[in-house]
Structure formats: C-alpha cells, structure tokens
Amino acid sequence: MSTEAIQVSPEVVQKAVADYFAATRAMDAAAWVATFAEDAVSYDPANSPPHQGRAALREFFEGIAAAFEQVGLTEDHVFVVGHQAAVKWTGRGVGKNGRAVTFEGIDIIEVNAEGKIQAVRAYWNPAALVAELQG
C-alpha cells in the first residue's frame, strides 16, 4: 500500500459496507466477492490466517453458507473515518439442523480508492456460533 492517503468519500465507504452486508443476507457469494478488490484480504476472525484474493474469499463465504439454511449479517452501527469503517453487526441464521442462532461482532473494513473493500478484520467468536449450532 502506498504511503499516500487514500481519498474516498464517506458515501463510497458506506456503499461498500452496505453492499457487503446486503450480500451476506442474500447469501449471494458472487455479489459478496464483488464488493472486494482483486487482491483483498480478510482476517475472519481477526486472529486467523488471512483469506487473500477473490477465489479464497469465495471459498470462505461458501464454506460458511454451507452450514446454514439461511444466514445474514445486519449492520447495527457504522462508523466511518477516512477510508475505513468500524461496523458493529448482528448475525442471524438457521442452521441446516433447523436451529436458529444469533451472533455478534465488529468488522473493521478498509475501502480502496476504487470503492472496493481492500481489507477486513472481523472481531467475533466463531467457536460460540459453532457451539450454538450444535447445541
């Protein structure tokens, strides 16, 4: 990444965030992946190895979606500063076993000059979600 400041309007950042979360609710892998830059990186959860590039991101999304009949994330609060957003979200879904789940987290999303997501760091506990799905 260059040392120059990225110039992106708050509206562009908000649109990238809105499209990202809308695609999760639609369970639309193609639309979700399209919100990312070609070389984007996602740490989901934040302490895990990165998913880098659109192919890896699609594989990640499809892996999550495969555990659910329906799942999606809704933005509760979006805070935009410069080319980044911190998003407090709530996830709701129904597992393949019919069990309804609710889970929460925070994503830090960086948007590039083209309005695509360049990086995501997701802060949440997938182990708690897995336990709830299996419970």
Q: Kindly report the pTM of this predicted structure.
A: 0.93
pLDDT tens track for 52-77: 999 999 999 999 999 999 999 999 99
For the chain, the three-class secondary structure string (H helix, E strand, C coil) is CCCCCCCCCHHHHHHHHHHHHHHHHHCCHHHHHHCEEEEEEEECCCCCCCEECHHHHHHHHHHHHCCEEEEEEEEEEEEEECCEEEEEEEEEEEECCCCEEEEEEEEEEEECCCCCEEEEEEECCHHHHHHHHHC
Task: Please tell me the total count of domains within the chain.
Answer: 1
In a domain, 3, yes or no: no
In a domain, 2, yes or no: no
- Average pLDDT, stretch 122-131? 92
Domain with 30 in it: 10-134
Domain of 91: which CATH number?
Answer: 3.10.450.50
pLDDT tens track for 28-42: 999 999 999 999 999
